[in-house]
Amino acid sequence: MVDTVSEVTLDFITPDRHQVAWSALTGPPAPDPRVPGIHARELTLRAGRQRILQRSLYRGPGADPGDDERRLDAEIAAGLRLARRYPGDAYPHTLPRLIGYRVDVERPYVLWQPVDGDEIHDVVSGLDNDALDQMLGDLLGTLVQLGAAGVVLRTIGPRTVVWTGEHVMIRGLSHAVLTGTPRTPLGRPPFASQEQRRGTGLADPRDDVWSVVVLLGDLLDPDNDALQERLGARYSVLLGDALQPRAALRPTAAELLRQLGRRAPAPVAHPAEVERLATGRRRFDEVFQRRDQSPTPARRAVLVPEQRRRRWWRARPAASHAAPATPRECYLCLDPVLWAEQDLYAWTDDGYQPLDPVSLGSGRRRDDRLRQAFRRCPNPSGDAPPHYLPAAYLLGGPPINVGLIGDSGVGKTHLLAGIMREIESDVLARFGIMTSAIDIAWHDQFRRTRVHPLYEHHRTLEYTRRTDEVDFADGLVLSHGPHQRPLMFFDIAGEMLSPEHQRTRATQFLAVVDALIFVADPARAEPDVTFEAVLDRLSHRRGADGLLDLPSVVVVTKSDLLRLEEPVDRWIVRADLDQRWADPRQVTAESRDAYAFLHSRDRIPQLAPLNRCRRATLHFASATGASDADGVFPFGARPHRCAQPLVSLLDMLGVLPGPPDGNGAT
């Protein structure tokens, strides 16, 4: 074996968020046998000769980062949680300490303090009673500290626990996850619980309780009378409820310690940032207490198509393309538009050309023609140039106009591209909603200029230009059974939403919006006044309780940049859309965390939608999942949680069909 030693410079971020550069000597990296995509090597610092362990992601150029990157992220997030929850001497002596990390490089890595010692399995027989007591207390005490930080190790077993000569230590956090993360199958019997092995439910600190108790049972072999005598009654206590198949029925590590008559580690004072988050969560709850309202937004009943009074002598209209009797508001001029089949147009290379009503024909021919037809807005007020609305906007159920709000550069267009990408991948079909384009050519234009450049060519999208006249960005028809509703998205240059531009015609569409997506950029230093400016403009739509009846979501976008920060780390990696009906409280939990996150960073104006709208949720999302390098995403761009805000909006609008029977949401 060729053992080459080389010098490297480590340029990394510490848990205190400082950037430091260290020079170190190292040998070649070797794959971690437990995580093939992660390579590990030991380094020796030039200064002080201190040893550190580097675990880095190994991936070929252009390779999909996939699970290994997520696993490394989870490992770093867990290490950061512990380092920030237990700063300095308060850090548990039984856990390895995270020294630093770097994720915005080709090979992301994490640096750990190495763990020395003998595997506990090899030395347990030589331990005296005091040492066994020490081991028991260390392991359960560690679980208490991990639980307080919201970390689940998932890998406690005879090969991952070592004895240093004075106490036990956990070898690493390579498979650690945060509490509440959906479980993935991991581990083997007997050390992993059945729930964990199957990957069902959410990760729970009591998953580790199972592992510790089984480990103790394995170490203190029940057939070994001497050991059993040494532990006595306490051992049987441990084997009681701690091995319940469901984590929810097991005692916590703190309860076990109490049963054993031992004191759990004293809780440490929360660092300032954790305290700020706690304050934000309390504020979130206070908002709803004041209103005497549940923080989980009530779902509206699914809307049936517009009620029409049908004269007895008139035949029932065909289910498809039922023309609404009530006029719709034009999103371009705000005048009422009534469906008129005698005044239809088609888009051609020479612009809009009138369609002969006779040429529409009937049956499928008529359906096909209407699919591509436009109705000229009569614009009786005469204050706008001639304009045309897609027929699909005027047919079917009442339209849903959704505006994206936020200053220039916060990521509105990227988020919309992410939403459309998620819709393309059929996320709404899980809720029984099928989608089709309002206007096929228009939708294709959005795909070619927004979705494909970002997700196929991996390039940042262009700045959205200011224009004199604003069109919808993209539109879909949502279908659930015979019901159809148009869904229109409006995405304009952020400058046009600033208070001094609110009077222009380009922002008139705000008068007809049915829902709003507020985009909050957490990395932005400058204040964003567009949220309040838009809410002020719509204040005439407030109800008797003073709240706007306008379903709104606040999306903390670019969350990938903060994916290792609490509480973003808890949400951004989750794919929990399927859990929506099973546990609607998750939406509230995410909203509470997002509110606390923005509150802790003094982004008070970004919280205005929750404070001023009757129904609002907050979400973490990332349209790209990674940072760009000079306008290019070297490892591709993927939407993360971009569907959640849309699903929440549709739920608040009463568009989502109800949960399937037996799926407890009320």
Partner 1 sequence: MTPGVDDRVDVVTFEWTHRLEQGGSGLGVVRSSLPDHERARWNDVLGTRVSVPPGDREASTCYLRFRGRAVLLHRTPAQDLLHRGSTRTMALIGPPSVLTLDRAIALRPGTEPGDGDGPYESYPSGWADASDGDETLGVVAKEHRDRAITLVAGLLDTSQPDGFAIRAGGADPRALLWVASRCLRSDGWTFSTRESLTTTAGPPMLVFATGPPPQSSFGFRRQWLDLSRPPRMRQSTVQEATRRVDEVLAGRSRTAVVRPPRRRNDDRAPGVRQAVPDRGSAAAGPRTGLPGAYLVRLSLLLVWSALFIVLLALAGQVQP
Q: Is 466 in the site for partner 1 (CB under 8 A)?
A: yes
Q: Specify the 3-state DSSP secondary structure of 30.
A: strand
Number of residues that bind partner 1 (CB under 8 A): 57
Q: Is 379 in the site for partner 1 (CB under 8 A)?
A: yes
Q: Is 495 in the site for partner 1 (CB under 8 A)?
A: yes
Residue 276 CA to residue 281 CA, distance in Å, equals 9
Residue 153 CA to residue 165 CA, distance in Å, equals 23
CB burial readout 142-158, b (16+ within 10 A) else e: bbbbbbbbbbbbbbbbe
Nearer to partner 1, 58 or 347 (CB): 347
Q: Is 317 in the site for partner 1 (CB under 8 A)?
A: no
Which secondary-structure segment (H or E) carries 478? strand 474-480
Of the candidates 93, 81, 91, 105, the one whose C-alpha atom is nearest the C-alpha of residue 19 is 105
Provide, rounded to whole angstroms, the least separation between the CB of residue 349 and partner 1.
7
Give the residue carrying structure tokens 């867990």: 78
CB 153 within 8 Å of CB 17: no
Nearer to partner 1, 499 or 543 (CB): 499
Among 185, 361, 482, 499, binds partner 1 (CB under 8 A): 499
Among 69, 73, 195, 407, binds partner 1 (CB under 8 A): 407
Of the candidates 81, 100, 58, the one whose C-alpha atom is nearest the C-alpha of residue 180 is 81
Q: Is 452 in the site for partner 1 (CB under 8 A)?
A: no
Nearer to partner 1, 252 or 624 (CB): 624
C-alpha distances in angstroms, 570 versus 179, 197, 650? 8, 21, 24
Q: Is 442 in the site for partner 1 (CB under 8 A)?
A: yes
Residue 612 CA to residue 626 CA, distance in Å, equals 32
Q: Which of residues 558-617 bind partner 1 (CB under 8 A)?
A: none
Q: Is the dihedral of CA 287, 289, 295, 301 positive or negative?
A: negative
Provide, rounded to whole angstroms, the least separation between the CB of residue 627 and partner 1.
10
Q: Is 358 in the site for partner 1 (CB under 8 A)?
A: no
Nearer to partner 1, 276 or 501 (CB): 501
Q: Is 441 in the site for partner 1 (CB under 8 A)?
A: yes
Provide, rounded to whole angstroms, the least separation between the CB of residue 513 and partner 1.
17
Provide, rounded to whole angstroms, the least separation between the CB of residue 631 and partner 1.
4
Residue 83 CA to residue 173 CA, distance in Å, equals 13
Q: Is 242 in the site for partner 1 (CB under 8 A)?
A: no
CA 219: distance to chain centroid?
41
Q: Is the backbone peptide bond immediately before 390 cis, with ω within 30 degrees of 0? A: no
Q: Which of residues 327-346 bind partner 1 (CB under 8 A)?
A: 332, 343, 345
Nearer to partner 1, 44 or 460 (CB): 460
What is 590-637 written as a DSSP string?
A: HHHHHHHHHHHTT-GGGGHHHHHBSSEEEEE-BSSSS--BTTB-TT--
CB-based contacts of 393, cutoff 8 Å, min separation 6? 328, 399, 438, 475, 486, 488
Name the segment binding partner 1 (CB under 8 A); options: 38-46, 198-206, 438-446, 572-580: 438-446
Residue 345 CA to residue 359 CA, distance in Å, equals 12
Q: Which of residues 524-563 bind partner 1 (CB under 8 A)?
A: 524-526, 528-530
CB 406 within 8 Å of CB 530: yes
CB 171 within 8 Å of CB 115: yes
Among 3, 229, 292, 468, binds partner 1 (CB under 8 A): 468
Nearer to partner 1, 193 or 530 (CB): 530
Name the segment binding partner 1 (CB under 8 A); options: 155-163, 467-475, 484-492, 570-578: 467-475
Angle between helix axes 66-85 and 272-291 (nearest 10 degrees) is 100
Name the segment binding partner 1 (CB under 8 A); options: 397-405, 455-463, 586-594, 638-646: 455-463
Name the segment binding partner 1 (CB under 8 A); options: 55-63, 100-108, 252-260, 490-498: 490-498
Name the segment binding partner 1 (CB under 8 A); options: 154-162, 498-506, 541-549, 612-620: 498-506
Among 388, 502, 547, 579, binds partner 1 (CB under 8 A): 388
Q: Is 469 in the site for partner 1 (CB under 8 A)?
A: yes
Q: Is 628 in the site for partner 1 (CB under 8 A)?
A: yes
Q: Is the backbone peptide bond immediately before 61 cis, with ω within 30 degrees of 0? A: no
Nearer to partner 1, 59 or 505 (CB): 505
Q: Is 366 in the site for partner 1 (CB under 8 A)?
A: no
Name the segment binding partner 1 (CB under 8 A); options: 142-150, 249-257, 461-469, 589-597: 461-469
Which residues of the chain form contacts with partner 1 (CB under 8 A)? 332, 343, 345, 347, 349-354, 376, 379, 382-389, 407-409, 439, 441-442, 445, 449, 460-463, 465-469, 471-472, 493-495, 498-501, 504-505, 524-526, 528-530, 628, 630-631
